[in-house]
């Protein structure tokens, strides 16, 4: 996957700018606050149809303006695809792929695949379960588009089931919802588990590449449904049935994949409690690299890699080794206020001070 050019009109700090990129990628430099992240996040916008930081579209409009319009051209499976997205304060958002309107933002996941290495990635280690679920949900969707649809259905069922539990209901009605709920729990937990099996192997390999350390990292899937109940929809349903009384008392769903978590350990020790900042950064990079490699392994196309100022707290020699290992395989974008750090990579330099 190669991003060829991007055009930004009234998007965040940009008024009207166009950038062209080489196959290898680019080094984006300029002082803090100049717009490096804004530019890279605009690229990412086209992989999701929305901000990956969950910002509202209205907040992406340049202050004082009424709309934004952004356009990208990238190569995917050997052909050029043009996507544009516009959002107007009065009208709805419009996204077109090769001039054809799309119905759902999520359709974009089929086209542009981006792996974004962000400074806040250490939240994957230190943060709440929700951060890890979001990471894996996106990662799985990038390899299997059906996953996102199933997850959406699951969330609808969860919402309706919770509404039911809060209302006056009869048990037979609840049990119809239980069965639907169990089906989706079964499907999603299986997909998460299968993904993780492949992911784990890669993450171990990438961690030693990034950190140079001999420790072994391991990610395990901590499902809200105990393993002995996960063999079939029927047994998931039995598990739900066993908790019926309690759920009726609490008036909400107390089981489900929305409560899942992923445990990360280094040499058997929980990373969340015991890893240093440097170790956490290395783990986060390893997770992102594993995400990228699985996209290639399963979807057959290498994603675009974006390193937004993440390598400052890694050992310089390692960073160079890491980047050299992927340079030329992936198109990579690096944002850093200090371009000198990466000069020997010979990436095309885009200095935002000069635009």
Binding footprint of ligand ADP on the chain (CB under 6 A):
12-13, 30, 32-38, 59-63
Closer by beta carbon to Mg ion, 290 or else 334: 334
Place of tokens 């100022």: 309
- In the complex, least distance from residue 118 CB atom to Mg ion, rounded to whole angstroms: 9
Nearer to ligand ADP, 37 or 189 (CB): 37
CB of 314 to ligand ADP, least distance (A): 18
Cβ of residue 283: shortest distance to ligand ADP, in angstroms? 23
Smallest distance, ligand ADP to C-beta of residue 12, A: 4
- From the list ligand ADP, Mg ion, none, which binds 49 (C-beta under 5 to 8 Å, kind-based)? none
Query: DSSP string covering 101-119, please?
Result: E-S-GGGGGGT--EEEE-G
Per partner kind, with CB cut-offs from 5 to 8 A, the member of ligand ADP, Mg ion, none near residue 151 is none
- Residue 34's binding partner, choosing from Mg ion, ligand ADP, none, with beta-carbon cut-off 5 to 8 A by kind? ligand ADP
| 118 touches, from ligand ADP, Mg ion, none (C-beta below 5 to 8 Å by class) | none
CB of 104 to Mg ion, least distance (A): 29
Backbone angles phi, psi at 226, to 5 degrees: -60, 150
Residue 181 and residue 154: Cα distance in Å, rounded? 7
Residue 256 binds which entry of ligand ADP, Mg ion, none, CB below 5-8 Å type-dependent? none
Query: Rounded to an integer, what distance in angstroms lies between the CA atom of residue 186 and that of residue 184?
Result: 5
Strands (E), 205-274: 217-222, 261-266, 269-270
Element at 133 (helix H, strand E):
helix 129-143
Instruction: Give the nearest distance from C-beta 28 to Mg ion in angstroms.
Output: 9
Q: Of the candidates 336, 275, 274, which has an alpha carbon nearest to the alpha carbon of residue 310?
A: 336
CB of 14 to ligand ADP, least distance (A): 8
Query: Closest separation between CB of residue 139 and Mg ion, Å?
Result: 23
Q: What is the largest CA-CA distance in the chain?
A: 69
Could you tell me the CA-to-CA distances from 99 to 67, 85, 106, 109 in Å, in that order?
A: 19, 11, 17, 17
Residue placing its CB nearer to ligand ADP in the complex, 12 or 132: 12
Residue closer to Mg ion (CB basis): 37 or 275: 37
Q: Which is nearer to ligand ADP, 67 or 239 (CB)?
A: 67
Nearer to ligand ADP, 11 or 330 (CB): 11
For ligand ADP, give the closer residue by CB, 12 or 206.
Answer: 12
User: CA–CA separation, 106 vs 54, rounded Å?
Assistant: 14
Cβ atoms 16, 8 nearer than 8 A: yes
Binding site for Mg ion (CB under 5 A): 36-37
Q: Which is nearer to ligand ADP, 37 or 275 (CB)?
A: 37
Instruction: List phi, psi (to 5°) of 331.
Output: -80, 130
What gap in Å lies between CA 267 and CA 258, rounded to an integer?
28
Which one of Mg ion, ligand ADP, none interacts with residue 103, CB within 5 to 8 A by kind? none
Residue nearest to Mg ion (CB): 37
Phi, psi of 212 (to 5 degrees): 70, 0
Q: What angle do CA 24, 30, 34 make, to 5 degrees?
A: 115
Which pair of structure tokens corresponds to residue 273? 């409690």
């Amino acid at each position: 996957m190669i991003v060829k050019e991007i055009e930004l009109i009234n998007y965040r700090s940009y008024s009207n700018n166009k950038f062209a990129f080489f196959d290898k990628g680019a080094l984006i430099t300029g002082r803090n606050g100049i717009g490096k992240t804004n530019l890279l996040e605009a690229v990412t916008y086209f992989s999701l149809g929305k901000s990956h930081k969950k910002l509202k579209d209205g907040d992406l409009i340049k202050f004082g303006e009424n709309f934004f319009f952004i356009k990208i051209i990238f190569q995917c499976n050997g052909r050029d695809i043009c996507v544009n997205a516009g959002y107007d304060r009065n009208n709805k958002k419009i996204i077109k792929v090769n001039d054809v309107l799309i119905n759902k933002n999520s359709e974009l996941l089929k086209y542009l695949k981006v792996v974004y290495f962000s400074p806040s990635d250490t939240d994957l280690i230190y943060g709440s379960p929700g951060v890890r679920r979001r990471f894996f949900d996106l990662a799985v969707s990038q390899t299997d588009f059906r996953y996102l649809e199933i997850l959406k259905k699951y969330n609808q069922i969860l919402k309706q089931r919770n509404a039911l539990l809060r209302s006056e209901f009869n048990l037979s009605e609840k049990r119809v919802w239980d069965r639907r709920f169990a089906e989706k729990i079964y499907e999603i937990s299986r997909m998460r588990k299968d993904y993780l099996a492949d992911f784990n192997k890669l993450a171990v390999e990438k961690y030693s590449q990034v950190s140079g350390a001999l420790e072994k990292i391991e990610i395990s899937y901590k499902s809200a449904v105990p393993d002995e109940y996960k063999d079939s929809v029927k047994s998931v349903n039995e598990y739900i049935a066993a908790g019926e009384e309690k759920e009726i008392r609490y008036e909400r769903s107390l089981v489900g994949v929305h409560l899942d978590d992923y445990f990360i350990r280094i040499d058997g020790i929980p990373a969340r409690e015991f890893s240093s900042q440097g170790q956490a950064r290395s783990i986060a990079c390893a997770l992102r690299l594993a995400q990228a490699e699985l996209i290639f392994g399963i979807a057959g196309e290498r994603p675009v890699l974006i390193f937004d100022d993440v390598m400052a707290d890694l050992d310089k020699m390692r960073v160079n080794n890491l980047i050299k290992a992927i340079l030329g395989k992936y198109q990579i974008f690096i944002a850093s206020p200090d371009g000198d750090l990466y000069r020997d990579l010979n990436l095309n330099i885009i200095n935002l001070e000069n635009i």
